[in-house]
């Protein structure tokens, strides 16, 4: 139930200003840490501003949407919604200069598939990715735990899809609208657009669902005002103003979506490559050395554990028979 969920308690925010302040905080922290020896002018020239980060993340949200749209096998809408929630939440706690969005994006979708029980193997998943799939697999698996940590392990997401089905069933029962299912294309288009806004971080799934239904109804020249005021809230009219304002705001956010200018995105991409944290860049030598050391340390622990088991359980076991390989070992090319 959403009203008792971690989503409502920890990941639903009251205003867009609150979200903006969190994003600015992450931007300032990164620049303070990595630009300590720079002047203010040098920092402005080298690092992304909070507004630039936001613009770039909007572009990656579009890429996330397209990746899910062309995914094979076809991905259910609730999995897409969960992936968007993870992506948005991650960058409330982190800067895109610390963790590149293209790498976190794929990890968000992969984790969403697992949490929502959309069963695809990692091999099936990376088959949808262009380029070096072995490298993509390594990046996704190495970022999976990081993502869960940054989400504080609150992985259950309440999406608008179930409330939408409830509204459509209710409309069929209590309205005289002919064929309410004709609203579905408009509803799905509206929900897709909400993923590109901050609405999922600010409003309840039922409020977003109702906004989608009312939007689709208006496109079909249908009026559901009496359904909302009489059928849904006939006995709770005191809650109606809050709902009306929420629906109005969600529809306004969808209506005012602005796509990032392509030339501006290209400039920011180049800037990000120069200012990103190289310790988290899979193509950097410092990252490869860190990963190599991490797995060497794990192998050493495996050897120690296996040796201890041999001495205690079977002193006659030949050392050559021990399995000291690490099944999670990744090689970053």
d(CA 5, CA 154): 9
pLDDT given at position 74? 96
d(CA 12, CA 6): 9
pLDDT given at position 316? 37
pLDDT given at position 267? 97
d(CA 174, CA 217): 15
pLDDT given at position 299? 61
Residue located via tokens 């990000």: 272
Distance from first CA to last CA of the chain, Å, rounded?
Answer: 44
pLDDT given at position 276? 96
pLDDT given at position 235? 73
**Three-state SS sequence of the chain:** CHHHCHHHHHCCCCCHHHHHHHHHHHHHHHHHHHCCCCCHHHHHHHCCCHHHHHHHHHHHHHHHHHHHHCCCCCCCHHHHHHHHHHHHHHHHHCCCCCCCHHHHHHHHHHHHHHHCCCCCCHHHHHCCCCCCHHHHHHHHHHHHHHHHHHCCCCCCCCCCHHHHHHHHHHHHHHCCCCCHHHHHHHHHHHHHHHCCCCHHHCCCHHHHHHHHHHHHHHHCCCCCHHHHHHHHCCCCHHHHHHHHHHHHHHHHHHHCCCCCCHHHHHHHHHHHHHHCCHHHCCCCHHHHHHHHHHHHHHHHHHHHHHHHHHHHHCCCCCHHHCCCCCCCCCCCC
- List all residues 6 or more positions away from 56 whose beta carbon is below 8 Å from its beta carbon: 48, 96, 101, 260, 265, 268, 269, 272
d(CA 196, CA 62): 7
pLDDT given at position 288? 77
pLDDT in tens, 31-60: 999 999 999 999 999 999 999 999 999 999
pLDDT given at position 323? 39
d(CA 98, CA 100): 7
Alpha carbon distances (Å) from 204 to 14, 159, 198, 233, 245: 11, 9, 12, 17, 13
pLDDT in tens, 193-230: 999 999 999 999 999 999 999 999 999 999 998 888 88
Class of residue 280 by CB neighbours under 10 A (exposed 0-12, middle 13-18, buried 19+): buried
d(CA 20, CA 2): 24
Nearest residue to 251 via CA among 194, 289, 291: 194
What the chain holds in terms of domains, given with CATH numbers, is: 12-156 (1.10.472.10), 160-256 (1.10.472.10)
pLDDT given at position 315? 36
Q: b vs e for 177-189, b when ≥16 Cβ sit within 10 Å of the residue's Cβ?
A: beebeebeebbee
Residues of the chain with pLDDT under 70: 294-295, 297-333
pLDDT given at position 306? 55
């Amino acid at each position: 139930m959403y009203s008792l969920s971690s989503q409502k308690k920890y990941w639903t925010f009251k205003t867009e200003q609150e979200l903006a302040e969190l994003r600015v905080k992450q931007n300032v922290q990164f620049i303070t840490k990595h630009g300590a020896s720079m002047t203010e002018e040098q920092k402005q020239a080298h690092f992304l501003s909070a507004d630039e980060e936001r613009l770039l993340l909007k572009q990656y949200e579009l890429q996330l949407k397209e990746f899910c749209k062309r995914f094979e096998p076809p991905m259910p809408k609730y999995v897409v919604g969960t992936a968007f929630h993870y992506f948005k939440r991650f960058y409330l706690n982190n800067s895109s200069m610390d963790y590149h969005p293209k790498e976190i994006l794929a990890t968000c979708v992969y984790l969403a598939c697992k949490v929502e029980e959309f069963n695809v193997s990692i091999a099936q998943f990376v088959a949808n990715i262009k380029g070096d799939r072995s490298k993509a697999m390594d990046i996704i698996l190495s970022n999976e735990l990081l993502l869960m940590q940054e989400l504080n392990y609150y992985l259950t997401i309440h999406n608008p899809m179930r409330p939408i089905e409830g509204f459509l069933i209710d409309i069929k029962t209590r309205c005289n609208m002919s064929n309410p299912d004709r609203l579905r294309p408009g509803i799905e288009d509206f929900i897709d657009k909400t993923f590109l806004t901050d609405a999922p971080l600010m409003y309840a799934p039922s409020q977003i669902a109702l906004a989608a239904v009312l939007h689709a109804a208006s496109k079909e020249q249908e009026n559901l005002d009496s359904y909302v005021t009489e059928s849904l809230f006939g006995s709770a009219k005191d809650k109606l103003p809050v709902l009306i304002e929420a629906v109005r705001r969600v529809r306004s956010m969808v209506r005012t979506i602005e796509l990032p200018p392509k030339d501006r995105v290209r400039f920011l991409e180049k800037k990000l490559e120069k200012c990103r944290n190289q310790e988290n860049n899979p193509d950097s030598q410092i990252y490869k050395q860190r990963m190599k050391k991490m797995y060497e340390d794990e192998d050493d622990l495996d050897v120690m554990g296996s040796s201890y088991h041999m001495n205690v359980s079977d002193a006659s076991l030949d050392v050559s028979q021990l399995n000291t390989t690490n099944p999670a070992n990744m090689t970053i090319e």
